[in-house]
Amino acid sequence: MKKRDQLEPQPTEPVVLSRSEHPLSRKMIDQDTIKVLYRLYRNGFKAYLVGGGVRDLLLGRTPKDFDVGTDATPNQVRKLFRNCFLVGRRFRLAHIRFGPDRLVEVATFRRQADKEELPDCPQERSFASENVFGTPQEDAFRRDFTINALFYDISDFSIVDYVGGLRDLQEKKIRVIGDPMVRFEEDPVRMLRALEFSARLGFEVEASALQAIGKQAHLLAGAAPARLREELMELFRHKVAGPVLRQANETGLLDHLFPDYSVDENSLRLIERIDRRTASGVPVTEAIMLASLYLSKFRDGLKKSPDLDFAGAMHLANALLEPHRAHYHIAHGIRHQAREMLLGIFRFNRGRGRRGEKRFLHHPATPGAFELLQLWSEVSGEEKDMVAAWKDVVPEPGKSKEKQAERPAGSNRSRRRRRRQRPPKKEPTPTK
């Protein structure tokens, strides 16, 4: 492994934009975040808005959240805020809560630890290496990409850039801080994040980083499955799963993201179509993501075995989905939902007029399966006759429940069972 010399802060002065030289205003920042920044500053600590929030505001975008960086330690932050909770065993952070669904994350500036500062025990060394506090400059050089290492200083409203992030914002470049080969070896998920930011922002991944992805793609197989699973869902939530997976396929990342999975063009088009569906306001679920990834292979299996019965189709769906579920520790319930969608495709493939059709049409998974079939037909040009045959009889998602709610009182078919009246008890005849 290469040395980390390039990650150490360089002795150059940072680029500092005064308030008159940039468009970022306090009015653009969430008021809870402003409260946190000012309380830290007024108590003698440095208080910066950091990371993606600064990047997005400079690009004219609305950040999904705001993060704060400070030289106050987590315990010092906790003393300043009664609504503060410290989280993270490996990387200590302060979460300051403003209501049940709103929090501001505060991180203390970190630096790269020297070898003599670390304990001998591997577990303790891992914890200690992430909790060596440093300066804003040292913290900037620990971050992943230059555009994510910009700071907004609440004391004078300036933008502080230690790593060339302002230049890369103007040039629309995704540039790794330090040597890409070293940084990707430290954290292989950064390769996937580089492609994600490229797709989300419309930026180009810098040439040396793109070459490093091709050489280090195999390292992704060793990344924590839970992190990869969350990154995958982020791709779908941000409507960039299609272009990211397409580029991951070109760079070789996809081979290690989905072991034993070969993607075809129609699958990529389907995922891109789901991105457009999500952009229109239709939420995406993990079950839809899973079913869309394996729909093409499932259909290939049906074509190879045209006489497959329902049990065989279920076995085929399980064989495709189970390795993915096991690798990424996905709940069985999500796998079940994805399987029901694939089995819905199997049922559509068998045609109309089959026994149990009415029960199938009322199955909760049927509308979602039909929507997936429609999307597949749009991108592949196949199954248009099948879509036409079922279009008028498959209920729209949520439609049946709405109709149930619209029924007038007393019109439900299932009524409370009336208890049969018991005959009156006979009075016992008096004995003489």
Residues identified as active-site: 65, 67, 144
CB atoms within 10 A of CB 172: 13
Count, residues in the chain: 432
Return the DSSP state at 115.
G
142 neighbors 182 (Cβ within 8 angstroms):
no
Q: Which two tokens stand for residue 403?
A: 């109709």
Q: Assign 3-class secondary structure to 218-270.
A: HHHHHCCHHHHHHHHHHHHHCCCHHHHHHHHHHHCCHHHHCCCCCCCHHHHHH
What lies within 8 Å, CB to CB, of 381 at 6+ separation is none
Query: What is the per-residue burial (b if ≥16 Cβ within 10 Å, else e) of 148-170?
Result: bbbbbbbeeebbbbbbbbbebbe
Closest CA to 299 of 368, 383, 220, 364: 383
Q: How far is CA 365 from CA 3, 318, 350, 369, in A?
A: 53, 16, 17, 6
Cα–Cα–Cα angle for 53, 233, 331, nearest 5°?
A: 135
Q: How far apart are CA 108 and CA 87, in angstroms?
A: 13
